[in-house]
Structure 1
Amino acid sequence: MLKKILITTITIVVLVLSLGAYAFYWLSSFMPKEHEVTALKASQPSALTYLQGSTSELRGKILAVVTSTNKMGQSNKKTGYELTELSRAYWVFTANGFKVDVASVKGGKAPVVIDADDMGEYDYAFLNDPKAQQKVTQTLFIDDVDPNDYAAVYFVGGKGAMFDFPNNPAIQKLVKNLHENNKIITAVCHGPAALVNVKLDNNDWLITNKDVSGFTNDEELFLIPDAQTIFPFLLQDKLSERGANFQLGETYLEKVVQDGQLITGQNPWSVWTLAEKTIEALGYDPIPREITAEENSIQLLTLYKQEGYKSARSFVNNNNLKYQQVLIVMHSIVAFMKMNLSEGLDLLLIANALR
């Protein structure tokens, strides 16, 4: 391992020194321009073609549940719900005829995590929509929620969910009620923490023998090396401990698993697919939606992981799609940090081919 780290470090240093200022200029060229960011931040729901095609039929209500926790345990690390995990599902649900209520463990204003690197037009449109913002600043108190009002529940991720979802009696009661009435239960990223302590009347865990996904150990520990001391448990470990059949996807790439009425997603890049699978599970065909540049990039990265560089380059050459180049570069950096030099270089070449 030490030899591998040394070789990788020397290689990166040599590359940077040999290319000098050009290397930094080249990498920074993948970042969105200031005027593009300004326009993105001004996104309005009324300007989004997808939302203009929303169905006028009111088909029911979906409850989105977010964390009320703003700090990770005894650490000083801030947390909350992930905005992108709520905003994208929110638009899919509403565009397809479902009213969305937002509840939290404590009710009222919920703490939010906004990662500028992941924000797109739908996310900023959510921030700029007064109705959506009222829902997250005045969330319903989970104890007051009537399960009979909803066709489905969606547990939004965010690391705070690891602290206040698992042992909350109201959440457990809600999930059990929906399960017993054959309604849809969905969760993404850290959201499945809501499911780990739900027991049925026969004393079995709800998720025993169920195919599920969620934020993986690898994803967690890469971002937070001391996660095992900060969190009450690692989500993948706990889901497996409860007897779930944990479905492991590629790190930081889309993975959505459906087992009957239960739909779970691995990470934030799984939200679009999970939300549309929720609509299908509710008995409707999702309205057409233009696939985002981020989704195209995730598809390209998945193809690279599964079939290698040549297939990924061929896909780029034969499909005139929009991509989020900076996402490819970020995965390249992750590969370098994991000492996977060949993958890091491959992804840089692919990102460069997209320019």
Structure 2
Amino acid sequence: MKKKFKILKWILGVFLSLIILLVSLFFWIRSLIPPRDVDVVSSEAKNIAYITEDVPEYRGKILAVVTSTDKMGTSDESTGYELTELARAYYVFKANGFEVDIASPLGGKPPVVIDDEDMGKYDYAFLNDSIAQYKANNTQKISNVIAKDYEAIYFVGGKGAMFDFPNNKAIQSLVRNYYQNDKVIGAVCHGPAALVNVTLDNGKPLVENKTVSSFTNEEELLLISDAKSIFPFLLQDKLVEEGARFNAGTMYLEKMSHDKNLITGQNPWSVWVLAETMISELGYVPKYRPVTDEEHAIHVLQAYENNGSEGAKTLLNQLIRDEDQPVSRLLIAKHGILAAMKGRLGRFFSLLNLTSYAKDLEEQE
């Protein structure tokens, strides 16, 4: 009896120690992440110099296309277009002299996904922009779009795009028209679903032998383990099946592919570079834009991938101490949590230590 009691006491002790460890770890992680410094109410386009100052003369129009699908297949999971993927590209286009119209398969008000953790000043400015909101809530029906009215087309991501982009005849017609007439086509994250099932006049798939990026199988399956049964296909698999040279980067880090007039991005963190590359492909030098704290964090994480902790710390020193640039500690910590989800505990603690290092540098300033 005493032996059983000792075993139970030992198990209880281990359990309580584990609880204390997890609680301590939670509060440590919380201490590494600064409070949000974005004023949701006052974030307006008119107060952002990049959007309002030194805007070139009118250069034409760009069409952004968003999904009309609000549910993932037969599941109850809600979806829509990703607001950050529309808002950031919208303002890059505007700041570089282009008017932006928004279309969707059904027209009208499309469903939108707003992730508070990913929102920044440009995203809140979009929500506070009456003109942008009118366009976003009263989208053109894609079948009514006149192709010649636009210099380029941009397909916004969001998981809903997997359901209503691939078989939409109007989208296929626009993509074929633009590609064969050397007009610029951009697509990010799940947006490249608009490129599948598009056949050129020569009978070949549009993406055949083209270098493209999109949301990867690894990124999809990490958060939605049954994605193969929910979606009609995995986007990476479908693009490869149609002959694309798939260009995958590190999970949830910036990655863009530029193949002539076809410009594609892997995930939401690729929007800035993709939109500015579209401006370049249209024949203009993109206007200078201050790099965001999120982009700096992405560059630090890429340095971590390429050169380990020391390489990442060197870049952090340069950005924070030498150049007084902001770095999103939240994003670095989130990548640590993603590592834990994959069972990579060494990487988890390494990235949290990197987050702590960034915090220490900031506090020394």
TM-score by length of 2: 0.90
Q: CA deviation at 1:21?
A: 4.7
Aligned to 2:8: none
Q: Partner amino acid for 1:153?
A: I
Q: CA deviation at 1:25?
A: 2.5
Task: Give me the whole-angstrom Cα distance separating, in 2, the residues matched to 1:40 and 1:88.
Answer: 16
Write the mapping of 1:70-89 to structure 2, written as runs, cut at 5 A: 70-89=70-89
Aligned to 1:23: 25
Aligned to 1:8: none
* CA displacement, residues 190-213 of structure 1 (integer Å, 9 cap, x when unaligned): 000000010011210011000000
Label 1:16 to 1:88 Cα distance change in 2 as closer, same or farther (>3 A).
Answer: farther
Unaligned runs of 5+ in 2: 1-14, 360-365
TM-score by length of 1: 0.93
Label 1:171 to 1:303 Cα distance change in 2 as closer, same or farther (>3 A).
Answer: same
Matched, 1:235 2:239: no
Aligned to 1:325: 329
Aligned to 1:126: 126
Aligned alpha-carbon RMSD (Å) = 1.5
Question: Which of 338, 352, 359 pairs up with 1:334?
Answer: 338
Q: CA deviation at 1:30?
A: 3.7
Q: CA deviation at 1:310?
A: 1.0
Aligned to 1:162: 162
Q: CA deviation at 1:306?
A: 1.2
Q: CA deviation at 1:337?
A: 1.2
Write the mapping of 1:334-353 to structure 2, written as runs, cut at 5 A: 334-353=338-357
* CA displacement, residues 264-301 of structure 1 (integer Å, 9 cap, x when unaligned): 00000000000000000000001111000000000000
Aligned to 1:254: 254
* CA displacement, residues 225-259 of structure 1 (integer Å, 9 cap, x when unaligned): 00000000000000000000000100000000000
Task: Give me the whole-angstrom Cα distance separating, in 2, the residues matched to 1:291 and 1:352.
Answer: 22
Aligned to 1:108: 108
Task: Give me the whole-angstrom Cα distance separating, in 2, the residues matched to 1:313 and 1:40.
Answer: 31
Label 1:94 to 1:211 Cα distance change in 2 as closer, same or farther (>3 A).
Answer: same
Aligned to 1:146: 146
* CA displacement, residues 24-45 of structure 1 (integer Å, 9 cap, x when unaligned): 33222244436x35x1453111
Could you say what secondary structure the match of 2:286 adopts? coil
Matched, 1:201 2:201: yes
- Check conservation: 1:212, 1:258, Cα contact below 8 A: yes
Could you say what secondary structure the match of 2:148 adopts? helix
Label 1:324 to 1:15 Cα distance change in 2 as closer, same or farther (>3 A).
Answer: farther
Aligned to 2:177: 177
Larger-gyration structure (1/2): 2
Could you say what secondary structure the match of 2:99 adopts? strand
- Check conservation: 1:41, 1:121, Cα contact below 8 A: no
Task: Give me the whole-angstrom Cα distance separating, in 1, the residues matched to 2:116 and 2:188.
Answer: 20
- Check conservation: 1:256, 1:265, Cα contact below 8 A: yes
- Check conservation: 2:161, 2:193, Cα contact below 8 A: yes
- Check conservation: 2:67, 2:161, Cα contact below 8 A: yes
Aligned to 2:215: 215
Q: CA deviation at 1:53?
A: 2.1
Q: How many residues are treated as equivalent by the alignment?
A: 341
Q: CA deviation at 1:52?
A: 2.6
- Check conservation: 1:64, 1:155, Cα contact below 8 A: yes
* CA displacement, residues 51-75 of structure 1 (integer Å, 9 cap, x when unaligned): 1324140001100000000000000
- Check conservation: 1:66, 1:155, Cα contact below 8 A: yes
Task: Give me the whole-angstrom Cα distance separating, in 2, the residues matched to 1:91 and 1:29.
Answer: 33
Task: Give me the whole-angstrom Cα distance separating, in 1, the residues matched to 2:225 and 2:91.
Answer: 34
Q: Which moved more, 1:221-230 or 1:13-22?
A: 13-22
Task: Give me the whole-angstrom Cα distance separating, in 2, the residues matched to 1:147 and 1:80.
Answer: 24
Task: Give me the whole-angstrom Cα distance separating, in 2, the residues matched to 1:328 and 1:215.
Answer: 20
- Check conservation: 2:253, 2:270, Cα contact below 8 A: yes
Matched, 1:190 2:193: no
Label 1:303 to 1:16 Cα distance change in 2 as closer, same or farther (>3 A).
Answer: farther
* CA displacement, residues 312-354 of structure 1 (integer Å, 9 cap, x when unaligned): 1122123322111111111001101111122111100110011
Could you say what secondary structure the match of 1:177 adopts? helix
